[in-house]
Amino acid sequence: MSKRQAGLDQIGSAVVTRRRATSYDVALAAGVAQSTVSRCFVADSQISAVTRARVQEVAASLGYVPNAIARSLITRRSEMVAVIVTSFTLRANPAIVSGLGRALNGRGKQLLLMAVDDGAGAQAAAKAALRYPLDGLVVATTLEDAEIKPLLARGVPIVSFNRPASWPRVDRIATDHAGAAREAARLLHRAGHRRFLCVGGPPWASVNQERADGFLAELATRGVTHSAHVVAEQSYSGGRRAFCDYVAANGAPEAVFCVNDPLAFGVLDACRFELNLKVPADISVIGFDDVAEAAHQSYDLTTVRQDVDAMAVGAVELLMRRLDTPDARARRSLLPGTMIRRGSARL
């Protein structure tokens, strides 16, 4: 073995076996009590500036970092907020998670992301959340009483993000999905469209259902007799397939409202590449969410924009209020959607 290799092996061994410095090590080196070390890393603790500076200097030299979990046992605050979100939302609208992360960091909180694929995954994530000393939970999926009640019993503040909520101490912030969908129907009808199709998601997806119900209810109010609703998998391919199947059986509608943008992208490409329908001359297409791809020239999608940043900030504010007043009545906040007019619809 070469001297160089032997040296590398010794360094590697040292790295592996080196023990993490503790508050006791810092206290011993700084000549203070262990409790003093802990107080030196709490911003509003009553301790002299000289002592704080000396302890923090010693801590830095030893590579000591306060253990957040250990501190939470004393302060009863972990500064950690879990976010349960579906994998579909992560793929289709990642701005939601990044917005929540920024809003939480702005209030000194850290985001614990729990991504789930379906209802069973959401239930498992809610149970797993009980294992952490959370300062709050943002739920961007659907949970039932059996998952919510143990968290409330533990005193975890909960905000329902863009989902229905009916529990007494669960706050909610969301886009007015039904209202925005009604506005889409009004605009299309006023522009002269008379044969409509709503491309929706599965019934268990509550947000999609709110949007579809709002759109169809407005058409009914206006006396529209030619309207249909098809259920599709919540994806580009799902929208493309469902729309092609509908047109093959019923002919093309004059206007299509899709409950999310990926579905609308599938409809647009079906029109252009399979059905020889010109957009918007032959057919108008409106989506929902205004994801980044909607503004791309290839889609130029008219869609409803959600104010994700405002919802994220609002969700964190609701959490902070709930931490201060845990028994307050639940707050409900609805933010309007904004119609973004582009080239895919005649309005």
- Digit-coded pLDDT (tens) for 39-87: 887 766 788 889 999 999 998 898 888 766 555 545 455 688 999 998 8
Count of all residues that appear for the chain in the document: 347
Assess whether 90 and 149 both reside in one domain: yes
Give the amino acid at 258: C
The total of structural domains in the chain comes to 3
pLDDT digit string, tens, across residues 205-214: 889 999 999 9
Q: Which residues have CB under 8 Å from 313's CB, separation 6+?
A: 99, 103
- Whether 344 is in a domain gets the answer no
- Whether 341 is in a domain gets the answer no
Whose tokens are 């040292």? That residue is 14
- Whether 157 is in a domain gets the answer yes
Assess whether 137 and 159 both reside in one domain: yes
Domain CATH number, residue 207:
3.40.50.2300
Assess whether 181 and 287 both reside in one domain: yes
pLDDT score recorded for residue 40: 83
Per-residue H/E/C for 94-131: CHHHHHHHHHHHHCCCEEEEEEECCHHHHHHHHHHHCC
Whose tokens are 């923090």? That residue is 56
Assess whether 281 and 181 both reside in one domain: yes
CA dist., res. 180 & res. 171, Å (int):
21
Assess whether 190 and 296 both reside in one domain: yes
pLDDT score recorded for residue 87: 87
Assess whether 163 and 271 both reside in one domain: no
- Whether 154 is in a domain gets the answer yes
Domain that holds residue 15: 3-66
Assess whether 106 and 140 both reside in one domain: yes
Assess whether 112 and 195 both reside in one domain: no
Paired residues of 81 in beta bridges: 111, 136
pTM of the shown model: 0.78
Of 21, 37, 66, which marks where a domain is finished? 66
pLDDT score recorded for residue 11: 43
- Whether 31 is in a domain gets the answer yes
Angle between helices 23-30 and 49-62 (to 10 degrees): 120
- Whether 20 is in a domain gets the answer yes
Assess whether 195 and 166 both reside in one domain: no
Which class for 108: exposed (0-12), middle (13-18), buried (19 or more C-beta within 10 A)?
Answer: exposed
- Whether 343 is in a domain gets the answer no
pLDDT score recorded for residue 37: 84
Assess whether 140 and 118 both reside in one domain: yes
Assess whether 299 and 315 both reside in one domain: no
Distance in Å from the first CA to the final CA of the chain:
77
pLDDT score recorded for residue 77: 57
Which residues of the chain are under the pLDDT cut of 50?
A: 3-17, 73, 75
pLDDT score recorded for residue 47: 87
CA dist., res. 25 & res. 183, Å (int):
64
- Whether 342 is in a domain gets the answer no
DSSP assignment of 36-71: HHHHHTSTT----HHHHHHHHHHHHHHT----HHHH
pLDDT score recorded for residue 12: 46
Whose tokens are 């980044």? That residue is 292
Assess whether 193 and 151 both reside in one domain: no
